[in-house]
Chain A
Amino acid sequence: MQIVQVLAYGILLGGIYALLASGVTLIFGVLDVVNVAQGAFLVFSALFTWQIWDMFGMEPLLLIPVMGAMMGIIGWAIYRGMLIRVAPQGPGMTVLLMFGVALTMEGILNLAFGNKFKSVTPAYFTESLKLGEIVLPYPQLISGVLAIVVLGAIYAYLRFSWAGRALRASSQNRDGAALVGISHKKAAGFAFAIGAATAGVGGVLLAIMYPIFPATHYEWIARLLGVVVLGGFGSIPGAIIAALLLGTMESFASTFVPQWAPLFFYGTILLILVFRPQGIMGSKTREDVA
């Protein structure tokens, strides 16, 4: 029975990783930018959630749309204000820019919230759902399920809406998409906004699960990027598979060898990259007409 519990726990954790990593991989797919600030977006949203919860004592889950919209707008502003200028210099410089953004956000959060752990603890924080012998704590259960729902909604939107098709077109062939009337700037701004919004949603979910303080964004970005690398850059299905794999892996490791759990996480990534350098769903593209 313990195995089933650990597995269920792993899938819930994987669902959250999947939501967070899909934002990074979407941004990469459309913009060719490795968004190392995603962890900072996440912590930013989590700490704001804490602040509002602390002040008004409201149900934190109600903040999901608010934080999603807020991070979406911030993301769009970062793209229009800064990234758009640096983008022509290539991925090496944009990654440094986003790193600067991450540090700036960390610094601001440090000054605003102090370098202390903050936890959002609604009434159900310590309760669990009991199904026979399986015990699932409500924060994990709610976050995991909501993450999977939001991810499903985003995926369906990208798959079936006109805007989603435009994004996919622009990510596959920027010039070709421009010829049929899809502005790359608009598509990129939109993609960045959606990517950042997933961090806004994810921040709320994290806030009820883990204690958060500003510098934890390094830990989160290392994990998210690990998921993206393993899944194959730019591939959302790849990110989902990798997230579920790593979530389960971590769940097992933290049950049986708790101290070594984070190392198992990175060890798995390196091991798989030895055999598949392009990641699980990554592909080599034509490069003769670069």
Chain B
Amino acid sequence: MQKLREPRVLVPLLLLLLLALFPVLLPDSTYEESVIIACFLLAIMASGWNLISGLAGYVSLGHSVYLGIGMYTGAILSKAWGIEPMYLMPLGGIFAAIVAIGVGAIVLRSRSHAFVIITIAVLWSMQLLAQVAKPITGGADGIVVPPPPWAKEFGNIPYYYMFFTVLLLTILLAWFVMNSRLGAGLVAIRNDEGKAASIGINTTLYKITAYALSAIPFGVAGVLYGQYLSFVNPIGAFGILTSVILVLAALVGGRGTLWGPVIGGFIIAFANEFATVSAGGVSARVLIMGIVLILVVMFLPAGLLPTISAAIKRRREKGDTVKFIDQTAIANSSTEVDTSAIKARARKSGTDTDNILEVKDIVKTFGGVRAVDGVSLTVERGTITGLIGPNGSGKTTLFNCMTGTFTPTSGSVLLDGENITKDRVWTRAHEGLGRTFQITRLFKSMTVLDNLVAPLEQTSAKQMVAGRYSGEEVDRAREILDFMGLAQFEKQNAAALSFGQQKLVELAQVLMLRPSIILLDEPASGINPTLIEKLANVIRRLNEAGTTVLIVEHNIPLVLSLCSKVHVLAAGQVLTSGTPEEIRNDPLVIEAYLGPDHLLEAPSV
């Protein structure tokens, strides 16, 4: 219970307690209660929005559509079934989630800006639908919702506690998501979606789940809100101004944080109330909200809460010196640790092909350019295989076809004898194919340890709800960091590391997938010779522990010293394949690289 004394836990709890006691402490304050109810509603919406737009970074500008869906669910069904609207609150949440899944399934599959636009269009379409579908929705006239069942003397107090309860549940939902694997995955998606997919995160599923979860509080609160207003019509239910205000609330408080949207909800609801009372009609409010939105985006983009906590952190850390980190120590760190953590996954039963990876007749064209022109090659199990070739020979394109970034124009890719040509990037990661990037793509706002626990070996509901640091992953992550000599960087932000160190962390990240084969994209480019040696060491030890490695590299001496077999590409085709000795003396290779009349220097490593 020590944790309770910390201000960042204690302060919000005390404030919530105060809100819970407000109607008891100050009875007969109907107006104040109605203002706080508006705060609750806005805080609920801002927290819900935060799940998709704050955590995953997909901005929704029409999110109030789910409030409207809740309002109409309550109004229509309570009339049809003759029951109290508020009993329909769970159903409102379910309907909102169903619509969100439908919309998400269309626009969240790919990484694009279509999402933000379709959210506006969906809000707009729903308003039109509510106007047109007269027999069900009452058209533009709307539907009158019956008054609440309690006696008049209670006034708004029951509503007050019901909205308060929904807010608490929403905060709980947000807390749960943020501390789960799902939340970590969403933050990874916000940082770098392509990379997230490459380490086994099913980005489509994650985004749709977040979108559906973010709609639920809206649907639940909408049912209640419809009854509170006692009237539902298309303009009121599907107005864009509500969407604007809730986005503003989340932004002002601090998107991506737990309490930011709640605080922002209170601030903006008070401001909105003030504007309505003192500045008059809707026109003035639109103008004020517009100006505030511009100012916040320009001058307070992170929001109040993160800005304040960063300032406090800076003050506390004043005087702390930056620790000197001995680079050579990293390079020379003992590699004499237990290798159980880096053992590859056991070979799949039933597959006993000798070729772990095989590509057949791969062709990839870009417009008229045949970047890869009918390449077939194999990677034998347990080897370190090299793929070299001059610039523009199609190495990286071929590599991207293997990892799923590109779908080849024709031809097939086989992993363990199974055709994976059409598999999504994350499925390949689950099947044991790991990759690194030529220019590192770590999640820069996350710590090294967070980067390492982000990869997922499979997609399952159980895993999504598991705690962020739960399971054996954390232990394994630490073992791998130890093995790489990176243990001291565990709590550093990935962005703080040098490029070479980032390359090692990225490799460590891939190892968390327990890949049976790792594809390394120019691992030695842009890092210093000491680290290259260290890297070569790591690759050899990985290979000894049972991992097959395919390496694309320009550093020919490194490739020739590491690999047992080398494929040479030129002009989109396989020029030749063979042992390093054969490649070194092959005149064709020398000619492809240097033109005729040149001799390749003897390797020095």
User: Do the beta carbons of A100 and B120 come within 8 Å of each other?
Assistant: no
User: Do the beta carbons of B114 and A289 come within 8 Å of each other?
Assistant: no
- B: number of interface residues (CB 8 Å): 53
User: Do the beta carbons of A96 and B247 come within 8 Å of each other?
Assistant: yes
Contact of A103 among B120, B286, B439 (CB under 8 A): B286
Binds B, one of A68-76, A220-228, A247-255: A220-228
Q: List A contacts of B291 (CB < 8 A).
A: 100, 104, 107
From B61, B114, B289, B521, residue with most partner A Cβ within 10 Å: B114
Cα of A267 to Cα of B298 in the assembled complex, Å: 36
State how many angstroms separate the Cβ of B449 from the closest Cβ of chain A. 23
Contact of B287 among A111, A226, A282 (CB under 8 A): A111
Q: List B contacts of A225 (CB < 8 A).
A: 117, 120-121
- Asked if B557 lies at the interface with its beta carbon under 8 angstroms from chain A, I say no
- Asked if A82 lies at the interface with its beta carbon under 8 angstroms from chain B, I say yes
- Asked if A158 lies at the interface with its beta carbon under 8 angstroms from chain B, I say no
Closest A residue, CB atoms, query B53: A92
Binds A, one of B102-110, B308-316, B318-326, B563-571: B102-110
- Asked if B555 lies at the interface with its beta carbon under 8 angstroms from chain A, I say no
User: Do the beta carbons of A115 and B283 come within 8 Å of each other?
Assistant: yes
State how many angstroms separate the Cβ of B542 from the closest Cβ of chain A. 22
- Asked if A34 lies at the interface with its beta carbon under 8 angstroms from chain B, I say yes
State how many angstroms separate the Cβ of A67 from the closest Cβ of chain B. 22
State how many angstroms separate the Cβ of B108 from the closest Cβ of chain A. 9
Cα of A228 to Cα of B400 in the assembled complex, Å: 29
Q: List A contacts of B284 (CB < 8 A).
A: 107, 111
User: Do the beta carbons of A96 and B293 come within 8 Å of each other?
Assistant: yes
Given A103-B287, A259-B132, check contact A274 B106 (CB 8 Å): yes
Given A228-B117, A287-B194, check contact A104 B294 (CB 8 Å): yes
State how many angstroms separate the Cβ of A277 from the closest Cβ of chain B. 4
Binds A, one of B123-131, B339-347, B457-465: B123-131
State how many angstroms separate the Cβ of A19 from the closest Cβ of chain B. 19
- Asked if A263 lies at the interface with its beta carbon under 8 angstroms from chain B, I say yes
Q: Which residues of A in the span 264-290 have a Cβ within 8 Å of any Cβ on B?
A: 266-267, 269-270, 273-274, 277-279, 282, 284, 286-290
- A: number of interface residues (CB 8 Å): 55
Contact of A82 among B244, B287, B298 (CB under 8 A): B298
Q: List B contacts of A85 (CB < 8 A).
A: 298
Given A104-B290, A290-B441, check contact A97 B298 (CB 8 Å): yes
Closest A residue, CB atoms, query B116: A95
User: Do the beta carbons of A290 and B192 come within 8 Å of each other?
Assistant: yes
Given A85-B298, A107-B284, A278-B112, check contact A102 B405 (CB 8 Å): no
- Asked if B445 lies at the interface with its beta carbon under 8 angstroms from chain A, I say no
User: Do the beta carbons of A107 and B283 come within 8 Å of each other?
Assistant: yes
Contact of B521 among A269, A279, A284, A288 (CB under 8 A): A288
Q: Which residues of B in the span 482-537 have a Cβ within 8 Å of any Cβ on A?
A: 521
Cα of A217 to Cα of B288 in the assembled complex, Å: 18
Q: List B contacts of A97 (CB < 8 A).
A: 293-294, 297-298
- Asked if A12 lies at the interface with its beta carbon under 8 angstroms from chain B, I say no
- Asked if B146 lies at the interface with its beta carbon under 8 angstroms from chain A, I say no
- Asked if A229 lies at the interface with its beta carbon under 8 angstroms from chain B, I say yes
Closest A residue, CB atoms, query B198: A288
- Asked if A262 lies at the interface with its beta carbon under 8 angstroms from chain B, I say yes
Q: List A contacts of B58 (CB < 8 A).
A: 92
User: Do the beta carbons of B59 and A95 come within 8 Å of each other?
Assistant: yes
Cα of A105 to Cα of B439 in the assembled complex, Å: 43
Q: List A contacts of B294 (CB < 8 A).
A: 82, 97, 100-101, 104
Closest B residue, CB atoms, query A101: B294
User: Do the beta carbons of B113 and A222 come within 8 Å of each other?
Assistant: no
Q: List B contacts of A228 (CB < 8 A).
A: 117
User: Do the beta carbons of A229 and B117 come within 8 Å of each other?
Assistant: yes
From A34, A107, A111, A218, residue with most partner B Cβ within 10 Å: A107
Given A259-B132, A288-B521, check contact A233 B113 (CB 8 Å): yes
- Asked if B374 lies at the interface with its beta carbon under 8 angstroms from chain A, I say no
User: Do the beta carbons of B290 and A100 come within 8 Å of each other?
Assistant: yes
Closest B residue, CB atoms, query A278: B110
- Asked if A108 lies at the interface with its beta carbon under 8 angstroms from chain B, I say yes
- Per-residue CB contact flags for chain B residues 266-289 toward chain A (1 = under 8 Å, else 0) read 000000000000000011101111
User: Do the beta carbons of B118 and A99 come within 8 Å of each other?
Assistant: no
- Asked if A151 lies at the interface with its beta carbon under 8 angstroms from chain B, I say no
Q: List B contacts of A289 (CB < 8 A).
A: 437-439
From B107, B122, B297, B439, residue with most partner A Cβ within 10 Å: B297
- Asked if B240 lies at the interface with its beta carbon under 8 angstroms from chain A, I say yes
Cα of A225 to Cα of B114 in the assembled complex, Å: 9
- Asked if B396 lies at the interface with its beta carbon under 8 angstroms from chain A, I say yes
- Asked if A2 lies at the interface with its beta carbon under 8 angstroms from chain B, I say no
Q: Which residues of A in the span 61-117 have a Cβ within 8 Å of any Cβ on B?
A: 82, 85-86, 89, 91-93, 95-97, 99-108, 110-111, 115
User: Do the beta carbons of A277 and B120 come within 8 Å of each other?
Assistant: no
User: Do the beta carbons of B293 and A221 come within 8 Å of each other?
Assistant: no
Q: List A contacts of B116 (CB < 8 A).
A: 34, 36, 95
- Asked if B251 lies at the interface with its beta carbon under 8 angstroms from chain A, I say yes
User: Do the beta carbons of A100 and B293 come within 8 Å of each other?
Assistant: yes
- Asked if B587 lies at the interface with its beta carbon under 8 angstroms from chain A, I say no
Cα of A290 to Cα of B111 in the assembled complex, Å: 13
Q: List B contacts of A287 (CB < 8 A).
A: 194, 405
User: Do the beta carbons of A110 and B293 come within 8 Å of each other?
Assistant: no
State how many angstroms separate the Cβ of A195 from the closest Cβ of chain B. 15
Cα of A28 to Cα of B121 in the assembled complex, Å: 18
- Asked if B57 lies at the interface with its beta carbon under 8 angstroms from chain A, I say yes
State how many angstroms separate the Cβ of B138 from the closest Cβ of chain A. 15
Q: List A contacts of B124 (CB < 8 A).
A: 218-219, 222, 262, 266
State how many angstroms separate the Cβ of B495 from the closest Cβ of chain A. 15
From B58, B287, B400, B439, residue with most partner A Cβ within 10 Å: B287
User: Do the beta carbons of A91 and B290 come within 8 Å of each other?
Assistant: no
- Asked if A125 lies at the interface with its beta carbon under 8 angstroms from chain B, I say no
Contact of B297 among A96, A260, A262 (CB under 8 A): A96
User: Do the beta carbons of A263 and B125 come within 8 Å of each other?
Assistant: yes
- Asked if B301 lies at the interface with its beta carbon under 8 angstroms from chain A, I say yes
Closest A residue, CB atoms, query B407: A284
Contact of B128 among A82, A105, A226, A263 (CB under 8 A): A263
Given A96-B247, A278-B112, A288-B400, check contact A222 B120 (CB 8 Å): yes
Q: List B contacts of A107 (CB < 8 A).
A: 283-284, 286-291
Closest A residue, CB atoms, query B132: A259
Closest A residue, CB atoms, query B190: A92
User: Do the beta carbons of A93 and B301 come within 8 Å of each other?
Assistant: yes
Q: List A contacts of B194 (CB < 8 A).
A: 287-288, 290
Given A86-B297, A260-B132, check contact A226 B121 (CB 8 Å): yes
State how many angstroms separate the Cβ of B359 from the closest Cβ of chain A. 17
Contact of B405 among A277, A278, A288 (CB under 8 A): A288
User: Do the beta carbons of A95 and B61 come within 8 Å of each other?
Assistant: yes
User: Do the beta carbons of B57 and A92 come within 8 Å of each other?
Assistant: yes
Given A103-B287, A221-B120, check contact A279 B114 (CB 8 Å): yes
Q: List B contacts of A222 (CB < 8 A).
A: 120-121, 124
From A36, A85, A226, residue with most partner B Cβ within 10 Å: A226
Cα of A110 to Cα of B286 in the assembled complex, Å: 9
Q: List A contacts of B128 (CB < 8 A).
A: 262-263
Given A96-B247, A289-B438, check contact A273 B290 (CB 8 Å): no
Q: List 17 A-B contacts (CB under 8 A).
A: A85-B298, A92-B59, A95-B116, A97-B294, A99-B247, A100-B291, A100-B293, A103-B286, A103-B287, A105-B290, A107-B283, A107-B287, A111-B283, A226-B117, A226-B121, A228-B117, A273-B114
Binding site for B on A (CB under 8 A): 28, 34, 36, 82, 85-86, 89, 91-93, 95-97, 99-108, 110-111, 115, 218-219, 221-222, 225-226, 228-229, 233, 259-260, 262-263, 266-267, 269-270, 273-274, 277-279, 282, 284, 286-290
Q: Can you name 17 extra interface pairs (CB under 8 A) apart from A86-B297, A86-B301, A222-B124?
A: A34-B116, A34-B117, A93-B297, A95-B61, A95-B113, A96-B297, A97-B293, A100-B292, A107-B283, A107-B288, A233-B112, A263-B129, A277-B107, A277-B112, A278-B110, A284-B110, A288-B400
